């Protein structure tokens, strides 16, 4: 019998560019009758432990995840990792490099904004980032706070969006490197929202490179796309995942927007992780 309990396998927190604290995440997930949530912050697992602690005793299952930045030529590929070991030393060292590069990127964006006459305060950017993974949304927040832009969207459109005068490329891995990093940490590697990539021809190569899951359901996927990626997953033996990609209202990716993903997706991920573990032991 299929397990029809609802889950959300793509959620961001204040530890990257989301607006959910661990406590709020747990409360909202329970309010939405979710059985499990994957914490998939950008290039960090710092939020996993606090969310697990907040969920203790509630019955909500928290899955340790991450969303790694990668690229294939000019294509920006977001790689999701599920069931990762957040204590794995090599994994944590790789994430520490991501964080250092993110800090350097933010400093360079602020320098470019200063050159444009926008005296955004770096200390304010760091304040908005807190202990989490610093990114462009924190720069946009600082610009808005100082009234250097009239909206969050304007900050991206005029200055720090792709191709903008203060845009700086972020540190990225090759997709194959991201898949390998996640798998070495005991996790299952997948590609996020492939419909936004618009490069389906790349997907078979990703399977060869170690992709084990694909995000079939996403707010920016139409029904036809979800059906297409579901068929691709079945053809290649991939786990079918999905989630709301919760960031908060400001991004249009609202927290826990209903996505038709059930606990069967979690079972599929665990089967893949367990099969690899058993293979290593034999």
Structural domains of the chain ordered from first start: 6-86+174-281 (3.20.20.140), 95-160 (1.10.150)
Helix (H, G, I), strand (E, B) or coil at 282: coil
Pairing type for strands 188-191 and 239-242 reads: unpaired
Tens-place pLDDT, residues 206-216: 999 999 999 99
Alpha helices in 65-174 (DSSP H): 89-115, 122-129, 136-145, 152-155
Per-residue confidence (pLDDT) for residue 260, from 0 to 100: 93
pLDDT band at residue 282 using 50, 70 and 90 as cut-offs: very low
Q: How far apart are CA 182 and CA 71, in angstroms?
A: 16
Q: How far apart are CA 185 and CA 180, in angstroms?
A: 9
Cβ pair 261, 217 in contact under 8 A: yes
% the chain with pLDDT above 90: 78
Tens-place pLDDT, residues 236-245: 999 999 999 9
Q: What is the pTM of this model?
A: 0.88
Q: Which two tokens stand for residue 201?
A: 């021809």
Cβ pair 53, 25 in contact under 8 A: no
């Amino acid at each position: 019998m299929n397990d029809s309990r609802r889950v959300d396998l793509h959620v961001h927190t204040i530890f990257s560019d989301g607006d959910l604290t661990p406590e709020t995440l747990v409360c909202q997930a329970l309010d939405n009758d979710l059985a499990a949530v994957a914490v998939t912050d950008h290039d960090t697992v710092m939020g996993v432990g606090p969310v697990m602690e907040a969920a203790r005793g509630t019955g909500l299952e928290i899955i340790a995840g991450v969303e790694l930045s990668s690229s294939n030529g000019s294509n920006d590929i977001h790689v999701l990792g599920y069931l990762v070991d957040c204590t794995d030393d090599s994994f944590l060292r790789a994430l520490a490099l991501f964080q250092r590069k993110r800090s350097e990127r933010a400093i360079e964006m602020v320098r470019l904004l200063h050159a444009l006459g926008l005296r955004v305060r770096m200390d304010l950017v760091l304040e908005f980032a807190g202990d989490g993974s610093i990114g462009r949304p924190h720069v946009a927040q600082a610009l808005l706070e100082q009234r250097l832009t009239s909206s969050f969207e304007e900050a991206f459109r005029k200055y720090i969006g792709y191709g903008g005068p203060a845009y700086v490329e972020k540190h990225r891995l090759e997709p194959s490197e991201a898949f390998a990093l996640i798998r070495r940490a005991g996790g299952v590697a997948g590609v996020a929202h492939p419909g936004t990539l618009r490069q389906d021809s790349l997907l078979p190569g990703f399977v060869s490179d170690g992709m084990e899951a694909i995000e079939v359901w996403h707010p920016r996927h139409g029904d036809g796309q979800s059906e297409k990626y579901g068929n691709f997953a079945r053809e290649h033996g991939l786990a079918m995942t999905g989630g709301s990609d919760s960031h908060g209202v400001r991004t249009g990716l609202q927290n826990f927007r209903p996505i038709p993903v059930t606990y069967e997706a979690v079972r599929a991920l665990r089967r893949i992780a367990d099969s690899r573990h058993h293979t290593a032991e034999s």
